[in-house]
Structure 1
Amino acid sequence: MSKPLNIMYASAGGGWIHRASAEMFKLGHQAHLYSPAKNSTALPEANFHRSWSFNLACQPFYRIAGGRYAEAGYHLMFPVWKAWFKRQPHPKCDVIHAVMGSATEPFDVAEKIGALKVLDASNSHPTSFYGFWQRELDIWNPSARVSVPRRVFKRANQEIQRADVVLCASAYVRDSMLYNGIPESKLAVNPFGVDLKVFAPREHPPEKPRFLFVGGLTLRKGLQYLIPAFEQLKKQKPDAELILCGPLNHADFAELYSRWRPIFTHIRSHTHKELAELMRTCTAFVFPSIEEGFARVIPEAMAGGLPIIATHNSGATTVIENGRQGIIVPAWSPSAVHDAMLQMIERPDLCDAMGKAAAARMAQDGSWECYAGRLLETYDAHLSKRR
């Protein structure tokens, strides 16, 4: 690359965009960030644009009923974000990189100034996202509907069509894009990084079997298949424990949560440091998601030395070779999840070896610095086509 790039990052949510902008700034590129969150980067204040109006508009919804209405409030207040972004100064940029759902207004700017339009797809194609989630609702909670408004999926579909590059967080996201007719030539895969200073490998697997899930408690994450699998395991291994770590902020899982509550331990919130410490006490990380992009907790668990039990739909196959760093299970299969957990208990040597292989994989190319390097290569490859 002949000269430093001028890059605009924009997201009404996605915290990884903060890390991407910070890493690019460290590499000597001029990064500008538009976000409602506080400045957690090394960017100068002149390069950081915070949407206080959107942040404050959403706050009441985050505080009501333990955050159960947070997502609804986010979508209800989203016009505040759009209006705020349009009023901001927009420097001339080589690249405008925006998260799917937040990209329409940034892409308007990009098309005026001729910048490369990069869409950060942290979830699967909108058609797959909606379809898989609604399927689970039809089966497990028939009166419910996907909590994300249809207009959001319409907006995301339009952003995909406008993008020059669709940055896929995982191989699963890429596959969903291809299935829905998006040309392979505009797709690039770049899994999220992990802070290796926070997430360090455990010394050895615990004596008591403990399985960990981290994420929002919702049908989309596959808990309706994980908990019955663990219930069966518990009959064989009475001392086993399942820990669900995350908020109950989706009404679609509330009834099942009450029914299955005695089966698992629930931790509602945690800091990154607390999560890293918890991981070091667990046997394996289990994530049988039905629809995802790339769960950032997967590389965090790998860096912590945990073997992974996860579906392709979780994004895990981007960084995990089945049988080496963990076990890839089919989606919608409690029996496969059960068998994988049982294997981790009955084969402690295999559990330990997979955990060490997972940590080694993250040490090799899982850092945020490696993420930034791959991202820069993607920018350069597509910018060079324009020269």
Structure 2
Amino acid sequence: MRIVQSTWVRYHHFDLARELYQMGHLERIFTCLPWWKANLEAEQQQIPRDLITCNFLMQGIRRICQKVPFYSKEMDGRLAVVETRFYSNWVADNLPECDVYMGISGSGLHAGKLAKSRGAAYIMDRGSTHIRYANRILNEEYAKWNIKRANENEWLMANEEAEINESTLITVPSDFVKASFVEQGVDSNKIKVVPYGVSLSEFYPTGQPPVDKFCILFVGQFSIRKGALYLLEAFKQFKHPKKELIIVGHVSEDLSLYIKQIGVANVKFVGAVPRNEVKTYMSTSHVLVLPSIEEGLALVQAQAMACGCPIIATPNTGSETLFDHEKEGLIIEAMSTNSIIEAFDKLSQDSLLRGNMGNAGLEKVKKLGGWRTYAENMVNIFQGI
């Protein structure tokens, strides 16, 4: 089977491409990565460089514009339309013959139509909730905190809806994402849930949490979308004599005022770290917390499980597809400070429970399989259509 992928940047698509190549199915992967990052991916994933086709032009222009002081989110939305049109047409212009074309949402309309005209299947792959659902829930959340948010560009939303209608099938990583599509009127039979894999060669226990304090870890972009302010409020109110919150990842600029108001006592902002260092933070923390408002299936959850770290997460992270409540972690109510505090209290007071959850998480990810299982599941779906 000849499979072509298109993706904006790395996401989960290069892990899939690696496995598809080893299975003999990868025909080509298109990306907006610059050539030097494409070279790095080819080396790291052991994919022949001539199977990776990249075009960084519009992505590069957009990134440069984002550094201009007067640049706004509204302007970025308009430029995103130009980039999407350019990229989608470019993929179509260079699309090789294939049996299946799988385009990440936003990138695939023109190539998808062309693939179908040639008798191939067009798979729309969406890593997070339906674009209109995401726009609505995030608008409501930003309004709650009185933070201005630019509405999602109408053309971009309509473009993804056209992809939904045009596609042979839609692949999503969690039941939470599928439910958002069904809520928007998409036929549930057109949607397949395929949870992401985790690289057990990259993520594994490397140490133990300290015994003299309770360490809470957050990994990802620290933003409204990720429930950052609920986490800070909960940590501030959490009564523990030796507590520490470690934030690994970029901090969204629109949170700066609230972070000052809430306070950062015992909060350590590490910033972005190399991928191979994340497992150390996960292995040496008592719990990973992810109180997201909107997400598809946060990869850091399976990575933490592979490191033996229990998880506190909302259903909006896709957690219910990945693990069981009170077995590998705790699934808590979204947008609730009290729910986070209660979870902190429960895990901080019960070391036996934490140990059992950590062990259960390790066993669960082994059974779920890694990226090869994810690729095999995808191929089985493709063969079915």
Normalised to the residue count of structure 2, the TM-score between the two structures is 0.90
Following the alignment from structure 1 to structure 2, what is the Cα–Cα distance between the partners of residues 147 and 202? 43
Aligned to 1:107: 112
1:7–1:31 CA contact under 8 A, matched in 2: yes
Moved more, 38-47 or 164-173: 38-47
- The question of 1:260 aligning with 2:262 is answered yes
Kindly state the Cα deviation for residue 28 of structure 1 after the two structures are TM-superposed.
1.2
- The question of 1:191 aligning with 2:195 is answered yes
2:81–2:155 CA contact under 8 A, matched in 1: no
Moved more, 203-212 or 56-65: 56-65
Please point out which of 332, 340, 343 is paired with 1:340: 343
Superposition pairs of residues 228-247 of structure 1, within 5 angstroms: 228-233=233-238, 236-247=239-250
Kindly state the Cα deviation for residue 43 of structure 1 after the two structures are TM-superposed.
2.7
Counterpart amino acid of residue 166 in structure 1: I
Please point out which of 292, 305, 324 is paired with 1:302: 305
State the SS of the aligned residue for 1:262: coil
State the SS of the aligned residue for 1:220: coil
Kindly state the Cα deviation for residue 220 of structure 1 after the two structures are TM-superposed.
1.2
2:139–2:151 CA contact under 8 A, matched in 1: no
- The question of 1:33 aligning with 2:38 is answered no
Please point out which of 29, 40, 46 is paired with 1:42: 46
Change in Cα spacing, 1:174 to 1:239, as seen in structure 2 (3 Å) is: same
Kindly state the Cα deviation for residue 134 of structure 1 after the two structures are TM-superposed.
0.6
Kindly state the Cα deviation for residue 13 of structure 1 after the two structures are TM-superposed.
3.0
Kindly state the Cα deviation for residue 260 of structure 1 after the two structures are TM-superposed.
3.0
Following the alignment from structure 2 to structure 1, what is the Cα–Cα distance between the partners of residues 226 and 124? 24
Aligned to 1:153: 157
Counterpart amino acid of residue 121 in structure 1: R
- The question of 1:164 aligning with 2:207 is answered no
Change in Cα spacing, 1:74 to 1:249, as seen in structure 2 (3 Å) is: farther
Please point out which of 286, 291, 296 is paired with 2:289: 286
Aligned to 1:385: none
State the SS of the aligned residue for 2:288: strand
Following the alignment from structure 1 to structure 2, what is the Cα–Cα distance between the partners of residues 200 and 373? 23
State the SS of the aligned residue for 1:219: coil
Kindly state the Cα deviation for residue 93 of structure 1 after the two structures are TM-superposed.
1.0
Please point out which of 4, 10, 16 is paired with 2:6: 10
Alignment deviations for residues 30-65 of structure 1 (CA, whole Å, 9 cap, x no partner)? 331000123313332322111131343234256668
Superposition pairs of residues 306-385 of structure 1, within 5 angstroms: 306-382=309-385
Counterpart amino acid of residue 352 in structure 2: D
Moved more, 157-166 or 308-317: 157-166
Change in Cα spacing, 1:75 to 1:26, as seen in structure 2 (3 Å) is: farther
Change in Cα spacing, 1:176 to 1:273, as seen in structure 2 (3 Å) is: same
1:57–1:77 CA contact under 8 A, matched in 2: no
Following the alignment from structure 2 to structure 1, what is the Cα–Cα distance between the partners of residues 345 and 54? 48
Following the alignment from structure 2 to structure 1, what is the Cα–Cα distance between the partners of residues 80 and 61? 6
- The question of 1:178 aligning with 2:185 is answered no
Following the alignment from structure 2 to structure 1, what is the Cα–Cα distance between the partners of residues 234 and 272? 24
Moved more, 38-47 or 279-288: 38-47
State the SS of the aligned residue for 2:182: helix
Following the alignment from structure 1 to structure 2, what is the Cα–Cα distance between the partners of residues 198 and 216? 21
Following the alignment from structure 1 to structure 2, what is the Cα–Cα distance between the partners of residues 241 and 45? 44
Change in Cα spacing, 1:295 to 1:146, as seen in structure 2 (3 Å) is: farther
Following the alignment from structure 1 to structure 2, what is the Cα–Cα distance between the partners of residues 58 and 45? 25
CA RMSD, Structure 1 to Structure 2 (Å): 2.2
Normalised to the residue count of structure 1, the TM-score between the two structures is 0.90
Following the alignment from structure 1 to structure 2, what is the Cα–Cα distance between the partners of residues 43 and 72? 36
1:58–1:74 CA contact under 8 A, matched in 2: no
Alignment deviations for residues 210-233 of structure 1 (CA, whole Å, 9 cap, x no partner)? 111111121111112111111111
1:58–1:70 CA contact under 8 A, matched in 2: no
Please point out which of 23, 32, 37 is paired with 2:19: 23
Unaligned runs of 5+ residues in structure 2 are none
- The question of 1:269 aligning with 2:272 is answered yes
Please point out which of 128, 131, 137 is paired with 1:132: 137
How much identity, in percent, do the aligned residues show? Answer: 25
Number of residues paired by the alignment?
Answer: 372
